[in-house]
């Protein structure tokens, strides 16, 4: 796919920013378990907290291809930060623009777009991950609003978020048509962090178990009509899966660049190891698979830009890119031998960070199910 001038300019701008201001600090972000608030605000200045949002809402009005390219560059510098950026754009800001009232948009979008507020997407529960219709969190209708009770699991940014979009059952007898969405400010009484999860990777992005105990939500903070929450959640899957696929490509590219650079410099038997067929062919295969993943991402994004349905293509991109990424990072580590296993070369961190891309926003098994249903 050939990029237009605007897309190439956005890619280059984000690459320069990410390599200069994010990548040098990635290890310390992981060690500290988070990011300085000023970094989010700096990203917002560059339009990265509302990339596809219209200008009238304070967004950058970029197309989805540019959005994917930007996520690739952020992920190439820091995988965990690209996760927060993806959720902020595809699940929080997009939901407010598509389904929020003008009052809701005016209340939350300025802070979200400016990076002063981070959003959390609270759908998954301990017994309801891929099967979102099995939610147990309840929103009981009371005078003036709803009483929210229940628990959520694996919620990205649950600790640092100022706003959570929470999905809860309002009509238990209606199945998935009885789920509604709510805009929940996290400073409300009744919002609590049960546990900050200790994960294999992406340590700078907090992942939490959240509990709601008699949390009152007024009627005007329901997102969309009652009973439409399941549809609101699913409507963002295309962009969300394109985002995770883009992340995968970015992290894998960073690892491959380390391996290629090392293979050009490291000498064995009198020549750079990249000239040994065993190494050169491995890198050639990894580069080919990574290019195929990139093109799947850009193809799905271009369909999204054209207004076409692309759920199958987004699922294909996520499936192939996330599984390819793990293989590429593993191959990069193998190229460095023992050095690839050391933290100081950076591949170990990327390996930890990239593995979850096959799990969140729909596991690889779910992607195969979606693709199979379309055949």
C-alpha 248/C-alpha 333 separation (Å) is 16
Angle between helices 79-87 and 237-265 (to 10 degrees): 160
SS3 content of the chain, % helix, strand, coil (to 5): 60, 15, 25
Cα 216 from chain centroid?
A: 29
φ, ψ of residue 138 to 5 degrees: the values are -115, 140
The answer for residues whose C-beta is within 8 angstroms of residue 194's C-beta and 6 or more apart is 151, 208, 209, 210, 211
Q: What region does 192 belong to: left with phi over 0, alpha with psi -120 to 50, or beta? A: beta
Residues 237 and 225: beta-carbon distance below 8 Å? no
Q: Are 97 and 176 in contact (CB under 8 A)?
A: no
Q: How far is CA 139 from CA 123, 303, 344, in A?
A: 13, 37, 48
The CA-based angle 202-206-208, given to 5 degrees, is: 125
E strand residue ranges, the chain: 119-122, 138-142, 145-156, 163-169, 179-185, 191-196, 207-218, 222-223, 267-268, 271-272
Is 56 considered catalytic here? no
Contact residues for 372 (Cβ-Cβ < 8 A; gap 6+)? none
Catalytic site residue from 30, 238, 326, 361: 361
Residue 140 CB partners (closer than 8 Å, separation 6+): 146, 147, 148, 149
Active-site residues, by number, are: 361
């Amino acid at each position: 796919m050939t990029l237009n001038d605007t897309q190439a300019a956005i890619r280059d701008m984000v690459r320069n920013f990410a390599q200069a201001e994010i990548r040098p600090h990635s290890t310390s972000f992981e060690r500290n378990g988070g990011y300085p608030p000023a970094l989010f605000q700096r990203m917002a200045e560059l339009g990265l907290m509302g990339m596809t949002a219209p200008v009238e809402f304070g967004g950058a009005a970029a197309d989805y291809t540019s959005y994917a390219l930007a996520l690739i560059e952020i992920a190439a510098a820091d995988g965990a930060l690209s996760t927060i950026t993806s959720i902020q754009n595809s699940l929080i800001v997009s939901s407010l623009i598509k389904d929020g009232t003008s009052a809701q948009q005016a209340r939350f979008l300025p802070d979200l777009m400016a990076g002063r507020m981070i959003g959390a997407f609270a759908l998954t529960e301990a017994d309801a991950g891929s099967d979102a219709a099995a939610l147990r969190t309840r929103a009981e209708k009371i005078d003036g609003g709803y009483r929210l009770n229940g628990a959520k699991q694996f919620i990205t940014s649950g600790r640092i978020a100022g706003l959570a979009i929470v999905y809860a059952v309002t009509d238990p007898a209606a199945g998935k048509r009885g789920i509604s969405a709510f805009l929940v400010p996290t400073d409300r009484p009744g919002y609590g962090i049960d546990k900050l999860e200790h994960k294999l990777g992406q340590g700078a992005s907090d992942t939490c178990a959240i509990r709601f105990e008699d949390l009152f939500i007024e009627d005007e903070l329901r997102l969309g009509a009652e009973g439409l929450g399941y549809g609101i959640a699913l409507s963002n899957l295309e962009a969300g899966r394109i985002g995770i696929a883009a992340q995968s490509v970015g992290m894998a590219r960073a690892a491959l660049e380390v391996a290629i650079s090392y293979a050009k410099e490291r000498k064995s038997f009198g020549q750079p190891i990249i000239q040994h067929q065993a190494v050169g062919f491995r890198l050639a295969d990894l580069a080919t698979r990574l290019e195929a993943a990139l093109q799947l991402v850009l193809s799905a994004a271009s369909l999204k830009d054209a207004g076409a349905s692309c759920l199958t293509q987004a699922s294909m991109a996520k499936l192939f890119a996330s599984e390819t990424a793990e293989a590429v990072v593993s191959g990069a580590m193998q190229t460095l031998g023992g050095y690839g296993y050391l933290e100081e070369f950076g591949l170990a961190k990327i390996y930890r960070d990239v593995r979850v891309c096959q799990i969140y926003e729909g596991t690889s098994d779910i992607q195969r199910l979606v693709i199979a249903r379309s055949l």
